[in-house]
Every structure is written in C-alpha cells, then in structure tokens.
Structure 1
Amino acid sequence: MTTWYDAPVVLDRRKGPYGEVVLRRHGALLQIIANGCFLMDTSDGRSERLLVDAALTALDARPEPGVLIGGLGVGFSLVHAAANPRWGRITVVEREPAIVGWHRDGPLAELTARALADPRTEVVEADLVAYVNETSAMFDALCLDIDNGPDWTVTEDNEELYRPTGLASCARVLTPGGVLAVWSAKPSPEFEGTLRNVGFQQVRTEEIPVARGVPDVVHLGVRPG
C-alpha cells in the first residue's frame, strides 16, 4: 500500500534523445517521468484499455485489424491489445530507448514480457511524428498515447501531431474506415473541432471517470471510407 509519506525511489535515470527520462518506484507502483513531467504509472490502466477497446469497437467486424500504438509507456495498451485475439498485427512505436529497455530486460518486463513475445507484436524505436510521415505501412487503427493530451504535450515537437498537418499524416497511415483514438488527461473541444476540420468522421469523446478531478478521455475519429 502506498501512503502519503512514501518517498519515490529512482530505479533508473537516463539522458535520451529528447531529454531526461526517469523510472521510479513509489510503493508498489512504477512511474515514468520525462523531463520532470509525470507521464504515467502502473496504478490503473483503465483509460489505456479503453483506448484500445474503443478503436476495436469502432472497426465493427473487420477481421484481424492491424493496430499502431503510439507510445509504449508502462505497457497497458500493448498488453491489452495482445490479450485480444481479434487484433492482427500490433505495432508499437516508442522513441525513448530507455523505455524499450525497461520493458525488454528491466523492471517493466514483468508486465509486458508475454505481450512482447507475441508473434503479432513489433516494437519500433522511432519518433511517432516522423514515423507517420515516412512509413509505407497501413493500419486499421492508430492509438495515440504519447502525451498527456493534445493540449499538454511532453515536448514541443509533439504539438505538430495534433495540428492539421500532423492529423493528415495520421490519416495517411490509416486504411479507409480506419480509426484514430487519442488519449487525453482532459477533454479538448478544440481538438475535436480540428479532427472534423481535417476530414475525420464520427468524431466523439469517451470519458473515463476518475476518483477526483477532470475525467480522462479518449478522442475518436474515423477516416472516410
């Protein structure tokens, strides 16, 4: 049980290509901090699971859809996708080598070892913004969880992803009728409007209740068929 007086313990601290990333243990929880900004921990995972499930539901009965997950994080989205036999190819793009290493042979391996060993899974070490601009691969769903939301990015570089040009790149890697799902720590009506303006259809926001404060949300949009 984690109490208010527990002090976080730093397990690893590295300088990565985009700044400092830290893995901490706080009681029973593992936490990832990037450039002093709390990203996520292993306390829950409901919103990350909704991110994956909402995308799959929006695809209806499409057989073995391929999913691109932006951000490995603590692995909730990957583990949940790999646990569902409906998904076909599962590609995860993570730009921080330290995070990938913590999952492959570090403290986070206990959470994701089985999912990483799944033959459907591929982990790509790359910046997601560059990846969606350059890849020739196509996916039925793109699940984004690389920031705290469109209005609260980890680095300035990521801001481009939520603007019209970045969303056009996201649409480019989606098959017709493919789904974009974006995790956010708070609702963003402005982002919903941007999704509609660049051509996404069936735009909506699903909320995940939290114990206190503003609910987490998943923004969804469908590429026209």
Structure 2
Amino acid sequence: MIPWSLLDKAQIPGGGGELRLMQRGAEFSIRLGQTELMNSRLSGSEEALATLSCAGIRTRERPRILIGGLGMGFTLRAALAAVVAEAEIIVAELAPAVVAWARGPMAELFQSSLTDPRVSILESDVGRLIRSGRSTYDAILLDVDNGPEGLSRKANDGLYDMVGLRAARAALRPGGVLAVWSSGPNKNFTQRLRKTGFDVDEVRVRANGARGGARHVIWIATHSDPTDKKVCF
C-alpha cells in the first residue's frame, strides 16, 4: 500500500490546533491532530449539504449563499451546479493554508470553481460574517467542524449555541435555510434549532452518496415565514 506523505501543515488562527495536508497517490486527507476532517475519496455528504440547501431556494432569482469552510471544495462545486447564473456564493475559510492548498496541490479537485464569477473566497471567520448580517443570506451552510460543537477551535461553539443560532436566523432572509453538517446525530442541537424558531429537518446521508459509507447528518433548518411560498422540500 502507498504510504501517506505530509505535504504541508499550518496552525488554525485563534489557537485551533495544527492542520495537516496528507497525500497518498491521488488521495488527499486534511487532518486535525489524529482526526481526519475530510478525505478526497468521500464527498457524498458534503455535496448533499449543498444540494439539500439549494433545493429550498431554487426559485429565488438572485440567491446569496454563505458557505462556512472551503474544505476540499465539494460543497462549493455542488452549490454552483445547483444555483442559477445570477447567484452569489461567499465562502468563508478561516485558515489561509486551506485556501492555498485549494489553489496549489488540490487544484485538480476544485476544477474551475475558485474562478467562477459567482464565487468570492474570504479568509475570514464565518461567525463574524453571520453576526454582521441582517436578512443578508438565502442560505448559510456550515461545515467547519465534525458536528455542532467546536472541534477545530473552541470559539466555534458560538456557532451552535442559542446566541449563535439566533444570529444565524437574523442573518437569513425569510424562508432562508441554515444547513449544518455533522458526522453524527445530536438531539440537543436539534432542540436548540427548534427553540430558536427554525423548522427543522434532520437528514441522514451517506459519506460517499449512493456508494455508501458512514452515515452522516445534515440539519436543514428553515427560517419559516407563512407569507413565503417559495420554499419547499
């Protein structure tokens, strides 16, 4: 078997630990310590994060989408395939190294997504963008941790607590969607979403789509508005 090679490593801003980019043949892995955050062979649930979210806003003329976490670009590419030409997609990536890896050794994975005119890549904290928004986005997609708790850095807990969820709801337009990726279920998070005023659908998806793999969870939380007739799943 081909051994893994370390291509690069970088600290997550804010004391979140060390990210490592590994390669084995054509396969890439991004790891935080001994925990694998993502693997280029497993893209199904990251793609589902985008397709499930964009299904709820497909009739909007100029949707504005915020993606938290660039990763290996699977969510971004799926979002681009699912939205109209007039859409705007903002990707917030806290770690500059991840952006550099996307434009360097992993460029083939990203294809032309980084140069698509609908896309803006911001080296920024997605939480800051959420907190500064007021009815700004049609969808917010979060894939910055392995679930609704701060794995990559403790400050990310603020994305998933009641204060953070209220900020996300305020940043969404009526009928907008907050989607959160997780490696597994979390009953308390589902309850917090509902207490914040979201309509919640907890969807189980496979890590590698139709080809199987581990079962992951995506929360589709809709900023419900009885006057908005455009959103449906």
- TM beyond 0.5: yes
Q: Which amino acid aligns with 1:108?
A: M
Question: Is residue 2:99 matched to residue 1:103?
Answer: no
Q: Which region of structure 1 is more displaced relative to structure 2, 151-160 or 186-195?
A: 151-160
Using a 3 Å threshold, how does the CA distance of structure 1 residues 60 and 116 change in structure 2: closer, same or farther? closer
CA distance in 2, matches of 1:187, 1:223: 21
The partner residue of 2:152 within 154, 157, 169 is: 154
Q: Which region of structure 1 is more displaced relative to structure 2, 60-69 or 48-57?
A: 60-69
Paired residues in the alignment total 218
The partner residue of 1:164 within 162, 165, 169 is: 162
Q: Tell me, what secondary structure is at the counterpart of 1:204?
A: strand
Question: Is residue 2:202 matched to residue 1:205?
Answer: yes
Q: Which amino acid aligns with 1:14?
A: A
Deviation at 1:168, TM superposition (A): 1.1
Q: Which residue of structure 2 lines up, in the alignment, with residue 65 of structure 1?
A: 63
Deviation at 1:212, TM superposition (A): 5.6
Provide the identity percentage: 35
1:140 touches 1:178 (CA, 8 Å); kept in 2?
yes
Deviation at 1:181, TM superposition (A): 0.6
Q: Which residue of structure 1 lines up, in the alignment, with residue 90 of structure 2?
A: 91
Q: Which residue of structure 2 lines up, in the alignment, with residue 223 of structure 1?
A: 223
CA distance in 1, matches of 2:165, 2:130: 9
Query: Over aligned residue pairs, what C-alpha RMSD do you find?
Result: 1.9
Q: Tell me, what secondary structure is at the counterpart of 2:82?
A: coil
Q: Which amino acid aligns with 1:117?
A: T
CA distance in 1, matches of 2:60, 2:128: 28
Instruction: Note the 1:177-188 alignment, pairs <5 A.
Output: 177-188=175-186
CA distance in 2, matches of 1:219, 1:76: 18
When the two structures are superposed, what TM-score results if normalisation uses the length of structure 1? 0.89
CA distance in 2, matches of 1:115, 1:136: 27
Higher relative contact order, chain-length normalized (CA < 8 Å, sep 6+): 2
Deviation at 1:85, TM superposition (A): 4.3
CA distance in 1, matches of 2:133, 2:34: 31
Using a 3 Å threshold, how does the CA distance of structure 1 residues 163 and 76 change in structure 2: closer, same or farther? same
Q: Which amino acid aligns with 2:162?
A: P
CA distance in 2, matches of 1:160, 1:129: 8
Q: Which region of structure 1 is more displaced relative to structure 2, 30-39 or 69-78?
A: 30-39
Q: Which residue of structure 2 lines up, in the alignment, with residue 12 of structure 1?
A: 8
CA distance in 2, matches of 1:212, 1:44: 8
Using a 3 Å threshold, how does the CA distance of structure 1 residues 137 and 59 change in structure 2: closer, same or farther? closer
Instruction: Note the 1:130-145 alignment, pairs <5 A.
Output: 130-135=128-133, 138-145=136-143
CA distance in 2, matches of 1:15, 1:135: 28
Q: Which region of structure 1 is more displaced relative to structure 2, 141-150 or 24-33?
A: 24-33
Deviation at 1:197, TM superposition (A): 0.4
2:138 touches 2:172 (CA, 8 Å); kept in 1?
yes
Q: Tell me, what secondary structure is at the counterpart of 1:83?
A: helix
Q: Which region of structure 1 is more displaced relative to structure 2, 129-138 or 75-84?
A: 129-138
CA distance in 1, matches of 2:170, 2:134: 9
Q: Which amino acid aligns with 2:127?
A: V
Q: Which amino acid aligns with 1:138?
A: T
